[in-house]
Structure 1
Amino acid sequence: MNTSIQEDGVRDAQQFGNDDGKPLLASQKMVREVAKSSKTSASFNFINSIIGSGVIGLPYSLNQAGLPLGLLLLVLVAFITDYSIILLIKGGNLSGTNSYQSLVRSTFGLTGYLVLSLLQFLYPFIAMISYNIITGDTLVKVFLRIPGVGPDNLLAERHFVIALSTLLFTLPLSLFRDVSKLAKVSFLSMVLTVVILFIVIIRAATLGPNIPPTENAWVFARWNAIQAVGVMSFAFICHHNSFMIYASLKDPNLSNWSRVTHVSVGSALIISALFAAAGYATFTGYTQGDIFENYCKNDDLATFGRFCFCISIITTYPLECFVTREVVSNVVFNGALNIYSHVAVTLLVVGTCTALSLTYDCLGIVLVLNGVISATPLIFIIPSACYLKLSTERWFNCENRIPCLLLIAGVFVMITGFIMAVMFPQDCSHGDEMFYCSASNRSSSTSTPAAELLLGNSTSFRCHIVAS
């Protein structure tokens, strides 16, 4: 940090009675008045905001990049996420601001503020649409495994399921005004994510060996790795609610925030890497944008995983709604929502997301485009640009080299990823059973239910492979 900025920070820290001597500004005093969460609760919320619908597409990102290169890129994206989150809060402290929008407005004026607000609104808004798409598609498969529920049943209709989950769960949770109240819900979501991870690993061991790997399944790298970075960026983006979670800390300072960030991003990386590797190892080149589309409908263990994942994303949905509502509040209502406008904005946002998710049902392109258009600027470009603008040192000076490189890399990934996503879109096989599932159905009469649950109908898979 350059000397002039550091001296300003120390003076402001002294003025507002900072108890740890770190250079924190007026925003520090403001967030102290509303802080409610412990570091543990904040970490639960933060991990939950990272591990949302994006994790379901991580195996597909390895299919795009190649397994070894994909895992290296995943670690790199996690490192950049961790670094840029802390950089973002540093920028807020240096500029005396306590929100992403106010930070960008103080550094790039009204134009930058409006661009950031649009991106910060689009990312969680599109994420909420993807959550509804997953909920509708996945819960339908869960309900169809219930005895007596057939294709003509109301519970087998994705539109009805999306509307029902919105009215019963996501809308009531989204109406909360205090993000710290979601800590217990976020902890439940984390537990369910770990359960899903174990299911994916079990199926990698029991189902994977019976599915023929595609050609060049284990190559180091593939040409469309840039699209993989877009999916990974979508999975790891959490900058849009960083200030909100930072403000919920009981003792918000850079030291505590760094601990929360390291724990949250590190935990998310471990879960994401295991999930991605196990999912890709099971299906190799057949891996789809929604990994649960690869499992057979009659796989009861996978069905339980689908149910757990639906509960997990339903509990993640409100965190994204909090951010969209905050953006609307800042842009339209100058940051002041009374109880009536709070309810009205929430109903408008949730209702619009529900309407759009009822008309579109292909997840893969949603993840890629949201990753390269919204997530990449929010992770790579904007935090780096703000910090570089606040610093009085030259861009390629020692402390500014990493932000400068992130800025350049972000622009490259955003432009290249968008072009590739448009030119080479992912095929959407929504609702289709894979070839190995058809083979399983033909020979299911020779397998017991217990064997199918344990082995994923391995006998029928092996027969299909031999026949082919």
Structure 2
Amino acid sequence: MCESSHITSGSSSVMAQQQGNDGERDALISPQKASRESISSMITASFNFINSIIGSGIIGLPYALNQAGLPLGLVLLIAVACITDYSIVLLIKGGNLSGSNSYQSLVQSTFGFPGYLILSVLQFLYPFIAMISYNITTGDTLTKVFQRIPGVGPDHILAERHFVILLSTFLFTLPLSLYRNIEKLGKVSFLSMVLTLTILIIVMIRAATLGPQILPTENAWTFAKWNAIQAVGVMSFAFICHHNSFLIYGSLKEPTLAKWSRVTHISVTSALIISAAFAVAGYTTFTGRTQGDIFENYCRDDNLATFGRFCFGLSIITTFPLECFVTREVISNLVCSRNLSNAEHVAVTMLIVAVCTSLSLAYDCLGVVLELNGALSATPLIFIIPSGCFLRLSSGRWFQGENLIASILIIIGFFVMITGLILTALYPQDCSHGVEMFYCADANISVTVPPQ
């Protein structure tokens, strides 16, 4: 197992305690400088955290409301966000109790090597499948963007999803993934946030201009629907960020639980506001017709939606490297006993990106990927493992104080995971990849230019 368990600048990882000592020395030399650097690191960490949460999963949140019903869906979305916030702080608390500085070492110190292996599989599986979904989304969105260029038709190479995925991989995701320092992605994360806000505005505009022209489906405003558990899986996929927690915690100047709690609350709350607004705007536009990829609902000749597709595709490209950081860390922890050399770092990164790209070229149904990854990987990483570690390390009985909350989260987690997997297998989402919606042929609907 690698000696380091999170990635920082240079050729080796720096433990959080050492970072705290460095911060104290800086404060003795220049308190104002140390304070500015501390605030800057918190802002950068927040950008990275929000960017980690708001990935391709947000595109499926309108569909999650379609599964659960609008009112119940919003309640579940808020509940998932609150549980996410609580379990992230719980995770770092467990790390402090056990003296661990990574998710893997925390689980190993509490559940031994079998627990470490289970976590490693889950912690690798989630970001790995997420990267596949990012590539699928890139292929879906940017091909439609390129088709709006004069002279680029359906048979043009720029309209071929395989070519677009390969092009974005070589030009953007692979070079960004080769960074060794997660802090260097702070500006990229800020760009991704700006793009996500732009997408939110576009979806809200279309809710006001296109939504009234599309008749709601039957039972569009039903409070609850029977397959709400599948919606929880999609929401869990959208909010999972625990696999990045120790990485981002370690990037803080003088990392403390108080600072981490502030970063977590700000990041999760911001992500919840953006996600809820996006989900409601998307669902109210198309109601029961809402698909797993909301941009599949918009017409091809909708220029505003095309710009939104471009922004989302670029946002996904900038999120990809954060997930690659985690998958590379898990691999290095499992197969080596030292820090990766520069050559090994490049080789492992290229292998991860190559496998993800190959799988995304072979499979193109985003909705099923979101549901399965949410139920199989995200749910245990959010609900079960952080709570289990805290229960094992904390004193007192399981039904007392904070232990009771952790125990309830474990029960909920197993229920959501098992039920979600069964429902996804029995009632998989229909994949209508690339199909033009029937209302796009309606002459009464103007989508290219919003009504004046």
Q: Same fold (TM over 0.5)?
A: yes
Return structure 1 stretches of 4+ with deviation > 4 angstroms.
Answer: 33-37
Q: Is 1:77 the counterpart of 2:65 in the alignment? A: no
Task: Give the match for residue 278 of structure 1.
Answer: 281
Task: Give the match for residue 154 of structure 1.
Answer: 157
Q: Is 1:454 the counterpart of 2:442 in the alignment? A: no
Among 174, 185, 189, the residue aligned to 1:186: 189
Change in Cα spacing, 1:192 to 1:335, as seen in structure 2 (3 Å) is farther
Q: Matched residues in 1 for 2:47 and 2:396: separation?
A: 36
Q: Is 1:429 the counterpart of 2:417 in the alignment? A: no
Task: Give the match for residue 421 of structure 2.
Answer: 418
Task: Give the match for residue 41 of structure 2.
Answer: 38
Task: Give the match for residue 354 of structure 2.
Answer: 351
Give the drift of 1:29: 1.1
Task: Give the match for residue 406 of structure 2.
Answer: 403
Among 229, 234, 250, the residue aligned to 1:231: 234
Task: Give the match for residue 216 of structure 2.
Answer: 213
Is the contact between residue 287 and residue 294 of structure 1 (CA under 8 Å) also seen in structure 2?
yes
Q: Matched residues in 2 for 1:33 and 1:123: separation?
A: 33
Q: Matched residues in 1 for 2:245 and 2:337: separation?
A: 20
Q: Matched residues in 2 for 1:138 and 1:75: separation?
A: 28
Task: Please provide the CA RMSD for this pair.
Answer: 1.6
What are the superposed Cα offsets for residues 153-190 of structure 1, whole Å, 9 maximum, x if unpaired? Answer: 11011100000000000000000000000000000000
Q: Secondary structure at the match of 1:218?
A: coil
What are the superposed Cα offsets for residues 278-337 of structure 1, whole Å, 9 maximum, x if unpaired? Answer: 000000000000000000000000000000001101000000000000000111113521
Q: Which stretch of the first structure deviates more once superposed, 330-339 or 301-310?
A: 330-339
Q: Matched residues in 2 for 1:136 and 1:27: separation?
A: 39
Is the contact between residue 34 and residue 247 of structure 1 (CA under 8 Å) also seen in structure 2?
no
Q: Matched residues in 2 for 1:144 and 1:223: separation?
A: 39
Q: Is 1:121 the counterpart of 2:124 in the alignment? A: yes
Q: For residue 144 of structure 2, what is the amino acid of its counterpart?
A: K
Q: Matched residues in 1 for 2:82 and 2:338: separation?
A: 32
Equivalent pairs counted in the alignment come to: 424
Task: Give the match for residue 296 of structure 1.
Answer: 299
Q: Matched residues in 2 for 1:393 and 1:335: separation?
A: 38
Identity %: 72
Give the drift of 1:212: 1.1
Change in Cα spacing, 1:414 to 1:299, as seen in structure 2 (3 Å) is same
Q: Matched residues in 2 for 1:150 and 1:434: separation?
A: 19
Change in Cα spacing, 1:30 to 1:208, as seen in structure 2 (3 Å) is same
Change in Cα spacing, 1:75 to 1:257, as seen in structure 2 (3 Å) is same
Is the contact between residue 169 and residue 314 of structure 1 (CA under 8 Å) also seen in structure 2?
yes
Change in Cα spacing, 1:215 to 1:80, as seen in structure 2 (3 Å) is same
Q: Which stretch of the first structure deviates more once superposed, 398-407 or 218-227?
A: 398-407
Q: Secondary structure at the match of 1:38?
A: helix
Q: Matched residues in 2 for 1:119 and 1:431: separation?
A: 31
Is the contact between residue 27 and residue 93 of structure 1 (CA under 8 Å) also seen in structure 2?
no
Is the contact between residue 27 and residue 92 of structure 1 (CA under 8 Å) also seen in structure 2?
no
Q: Is 1:104 the counterpart of 2:100 in the alignment? A: no
Q: Matched residues in 2 for 1:334 and 1:42: separation?
A: 28
Task: Give the match for residue 333 of structure 1.
Answer: 336
Q: Is 1:176 the counterpart of 2:179 in the alignment? A: yes
Q: Matched residues in 1 for 2:237 and 2:214: separation?
A: 29
Give the drift of 1:34: 8.6
Among 21, 29, 32, the residue aligned to 2:17: 29
Which structure is richer in relative contact order (CA contacts within 8 A, separation 6 or more)? 2
Mind listing any 5+ residue stretches in structure 2 that lack a counterpart?
1-13, 24-36
Q: Secondary structure at the match of 2:449?
A: helix
Give the drift of 1:392: 2.5
Mind listing any 5+ residue stretches in structure 1 that lack a counterpart?
1-25, 459-468
Q: For residue 407 of structure 2, what is the amino acid of its counterpart?
A: C
Task: Give the match for residue 163 of structure 1.
Answer: 166
Give the drift of 1:452: 3.0
Task: Give the match for residue 141 of structure 1.
Answer: 144
Give the drift of 1:251: 1.6
What are the superposed Cα offsets for residues 343-394 of structure 1, whole Å, 9 maximum, x if unpaired? Answer: 0100000000000000000000000000000000000000000000001211
Q: Is 1:360 the counterpart of 2:363 in the alignment? A: yes
Is the contact between residue 131 and residue 320 of structure 2 (CA under 8 Å) also seen in structure 1?
yes
